[in-house]
Chains A and B, each alone.
Chain A
Amino acid sequence: MIPDLQSHPRLAPGCRLNEKTQQPRTLLMPERALRLNGPSLEIVSRCDGQHTVQQIVDELQKIYSKAQPQKVEQDILGYLTLLHDQRALDFTPEAAP
């Protein structure tokens, strides 16, 4: 599955980031947890049902401006697909209410 660039990724029910005060930042899921490093935290914290995939790509290309833009986009799409297959993420056509 390749995420639609205009869809809005949103953390699935039961999935959330731990608090900002807690280190390291971690994606908490039913019976599992995923440590997040710099780029993965930047991606996951934008999976709020408001950003589109395209917006996430644009914003990360700015943050990681030294990296090749094409590579940044590929990495993001790959990571979102992985999270979706792990049932940590849903893609909705419309922004979440």
Chain B
Amino acid sequence: MTTAVPKPLALVAELTHRCPLHCVYCSNPLELQARSNELSTEVWSRVFREAAEAGVLQTDFTGGEPLARPDLLDLVRNARSAGLYVSLITSGLPMDEAKLASLVEAGLDHFQLSFQGARDDTASEVSGTRSHAQKLRVLDWLKRYRIGLTLNFVIHRRNLAELEEMLAIVEASGAGCVEFASVQYYGWGFANREQLMPTREQLDRSLEILKRAEQRLRGKTRLLFVVPDYYAKFPKPCVGGWGRKLIVVTPSGEALPCHAAQIIPGMKFENVNQRSLREIWENSEAFQKFRGEDWMQEPCKNCDRRAQDFGGCRCQAFLLAGAAAATDPVCSLSPLRPKVDAILASSNIAPAHVGAGLVHPEPSRRTPPATEPLTKPAWLYRPNAT
């Protein structure tokens, strides 16, 4: 080994792929794991202890929808007693007040509630489920508890016009943190990319709104914005660098260096049923594959930014360049950047629905219709795992 292996800091526990929502950008793989393949309470609890022993500080319970696990309270208790800080990343359904009370009682540290829009009809279209009113109810219940709260709005072409309304929900909630996370184009998001990619105008307008909101919310709510990286000049430091901070464990126990890693062909992942988390982290082929800098190609290999962004995202490199070790093509230094620019160009000329109320700074430009398009977009929805 040429580089010392750093300690992992976070464990993303994908407890299940089951979910009452079917969001069109779901980060789960196109092939979902069935309930019968899910890890048991006992195995998860061992994974939490092994994670804490390996240096992990925090675990994010996610899915699918973690609330679909009947043993969720035991999992929260066992992760806490292993010494981990526990976050629940949830759609807020199915849930009632009693369930929320018992989660807080079990030691849940932080509640992250996802939103698909600021309006019921938008949220329903995106998630294929009526869930928005329930989320607002959950926000009301949460006011009775002293628990960390983050709201997460996944933003894209179809809901960016609602940004001010989203901020109103945030301000009424008293949340300590809000994330406006642009859709990431993997899996279901990649399949629906054309319908989801924001326009340049939407992006510029959103940045102005968010800048003002950041000032207004200072000292009350921390505001985070995840840029749509196709529009960025440099790539994101995906998962804080491959095998540097994060371990994802899938519902069936595969340990991954990032959520989407299974799309890269030829990778072999190990399962927590067969080996300890520490062994997998330190020695497995998958975690070693893009750790450090030896794997890098030009222009990353000699780039001044290589320790900042680690060459970007391996999965995106595979999806856009066809090679996982290539420079992430969203990087302006990548020889394949013109391909990303072409994708953006087509998103910016398509006669797209960009939502009502959007200001178009160039009056001479042909403005897109401010009403619903005549035809519904042909979404590809994820099915529910069984």
Interface residues of A (CB under 8 A from B): 1, 12-16, 18-19, 21-22, 26, 28-31, 33, 84-87
Contact = CB atoms under 8 A, between A and B. Distances in A.
B112 interface: yes
Interface in B87-111: 87, 109-110
A94 B149 CA distance: 23
B222 A87 contact: yes
Contacts of B211: none
Contacts of B9: 33
Given A14-B147, A33-B57, A87-B177, A22 B83 contact: yes
A16 B219 contact: no
A86 B83 contact: no
Interface residues of B, number: 21
B108 to A, nearest CB: 10
Contacts of B85: 16, 18, 28, 33
Contacts of B148: 12-15, 29-30
A13 B177 contact: no
Contacts of A16: 85, 109
A28 B108 CA distance: 13
B250 interface: no
A31 B150 contact: yes
Given A18-B57, A31-B150, 10 more contacts: A13-B146, A13-B149, A14-B147, A19-B83, A22-B83, A30-B112, A30-B150, A31-B177, A85-B219, A87-B176
16 contacts: A12-B148, A12-B176, A13-B146, A13-B148, A14-B109, A14-B176, A15-B148, A21-B83, A30-B109, A30-B148, A31-B58, A31-B87, A31-B150, A84-B219, A85-B219, A87-B222
Interface of B: 9, 57-58, 83, 85, 87, 109-110, 112, 146-150, 176-177, 218-222
Given A12-B176, A13-B146, A31-B150, A18 B83 contact: yes
A21 B83 CA distance: 9
A22 B83 CA distance: 8
Among A13, A18, A28, A30, the one with the most B-chain Cβ atoms within 10 Å of its Cβ is: A30
Contact of A13 (B147, B218, B219, B220): B147
A-B pairs with lowest CB-CB distance, top 7: A14-B148, A28-B85, A14-B110, A30-B110, A87-B222, A30-B148, A87-B176
A33 B110 CA distance: 13
A19 B110 CA distance: 17
Among B112, B146, B176, B220, the one with the most A-chain Cβ atoms within 10 Å of its Cβ is: B176
Given A28-B85, A30-B87, A85 B218 contact: yes
A30 B57 contact: no
Contacts of A26: 57
Contacts of A86: 222
A19 B109 CA distance: 14
Contacts of B109: 14, 16, 28, 30
A61 B30 CA distance: 59
